[in-house]
Amino acid sequence: MSLSLSNKDEIIMRLVHYFVTEENYQPIVVNGVQNEIWLENIEASYRIIRINSNYIHNNDQLGFDLFKIKNIAKQIKRKTFSLKMNTLNILLDLNADVDMEYEKGIETYKIDSLKDVRNDTGLAGIFPKLKTFTLKKGDNLDFIVNITNDINEKTEEENKNYDNIFKEKKIVITKVIMGVCILCYLMQMFVQGFESALLLNPAKVLEGEYWRLITAAFLHGSPLHLFVNMYALNIIGTQVENFMGKKKYLAVYFGSAITASMMSAAITSTLSLGASGAIFGLLGALAYFGYHFRLYIGGALRQIIPVILINLFIGFMIPFVDNAAHIGGLIGGGFLAMALGIGKKDEGNAKIHGRAIFTIYILFLGYLLFFS
C-alpha cells in the first residue's frame, strides 16, 4: 500500500516531530480550529507554537488570524498563570501578496519548503538544531510510521515520569511527624520543664539555643491546637509527601519549620509553638508543585491559593495566632520546593535559581533575627 504525502504534509510532520522529540513541546487541543496544530512548552522562550496549513489569501484574513491567536494565547496565559505567552506562528500557505503583520507577542514565519525551515533567516535562526536535524523520508508509509513511533516514544517517556509523580505511594513521614507531635504533647502534659526547654523563645535563641527553631514545630498549646494542626498535616502533608518523595518532603518540612521560627522570632519576639509554620511551608511547596504541573492537574493552583489566603486572613483576625511564622514558613517552603525540584521537570536553571533564592532568604532572616 502506498500513500501520497504532499510537500505541506511532510513539512508539518517533520516540524511536529522535531518540536516534540527535540524541544519537549506537547500537543494541545484547541477547540474550534481546523488544519492547525498547537504545541506548548511553558518553559521555552516560545511557550506556544502554532502551525497553520490553511490558505491565507489577503491582509484582512491574516489580521483576523492574528486576532484569533492572540485570544487563544490569552486563555492559555490565564490558565497557566503566565506573565508572558510568546507565540511562534508558522504559516504554510500564505499568498505572496499578503504583507506580514507585527503583533506583540506573536512572531510569524512563512514556510514554503524545507529549505525555509533550515535557513538562518527562517526557523533555524531560532532553533539551530533544525539545520542538522534529519529524518529519512523513504516510503511515505514508513515515513509516517517512523515519525509516529518517535512521538509516541517521547510521549510515553514523559507519561512515565508523570505517572511516577502522581501515583499513590505509601505515606510514612507524615504519620511519623504526627506521631512525634502527639508524643511531644503528652510529654508536655506529664514532664515538667519539657515545653519550656523546647518552645520558640527568641531571647534563648539569641543566646545560642538554636534547636528551638525546629523543636517548637513539634509542640502544641492545647488539644484543639494539636487536633487542628494534625488534621491539616494529614491532608496537606500526605499530598506533598506523595508528590515530592520522602527525602524532599523532610527537607521542606524541617526547612519550613526553621524559616517559620526565624521569621516569628525576628518580627514578634514572643514565645511561640506549633506545627502550623511548617504546614504553611508544605502549602508553599504544594503551590509550587501546582504551578509547575498546572497543565496536567487543571485548576489545582486556583484551589491552593485561596486556601493560603483564607488561612492567612483567619490568622490576622484571631488573636495570638503567629502569622509571622505562617508567612515565614510559606515562603520558605515554596523556595525549598523550587531548590529541590520535582521529578525531572525541574532539572536545570529552576533548581539553581531556587537554591540561590532560598540562601538569600535564610541570610535575610538571619540578619533580621541576629543583627537588626
d(CA 146, CA 148): 5
| Contact predicate 19/25, CB 8 Å | yes
Catalytic residue among 220, 264, 276, 292: 276
For residue 254, what is the enclosing H or E element?
Answer: helix 246-267
d(CA 164, CA 343): 8
For residue 90, what is the enclosing H or E element?
Answer: strand 87-91
Answer yes or no: 326 catalytic: yes
SS3 state of residue 40: strand
Answer yes or no: 372 catalytic: no
Query: Largest Cα–Cα distance in the chain?
Result: 88
Catalytic residue among 17, 220, 292, 326: 326
Residue-wise DSSP of 274-316: -SHHHHHHHHHHHHHHHHHTTTTSTTHHHHHHHHHHHHHHHHH
Place of cell 484582512: 60
| Contact predicate 39/28, CB 8 Å | yes
For residue 258, what is the enclosing H or E element?
Answer: helix 246-267
Q: What is the Cα 10 distance to its own chain's centre?
A: 35
Q: What is the Cα 18 distance to its own chain's centre?
A: 24
Q: Measuring CA to CA, which residue among 3, 2, 331, 149 is closest to residue 323? A: 331
Q: HEC profile for 315-353?
A: HHHCCCCCHHHHHHHHHHHHHHHHHHCCCCCCCCHHHHH
Residues with active-site annotation:
276, 326
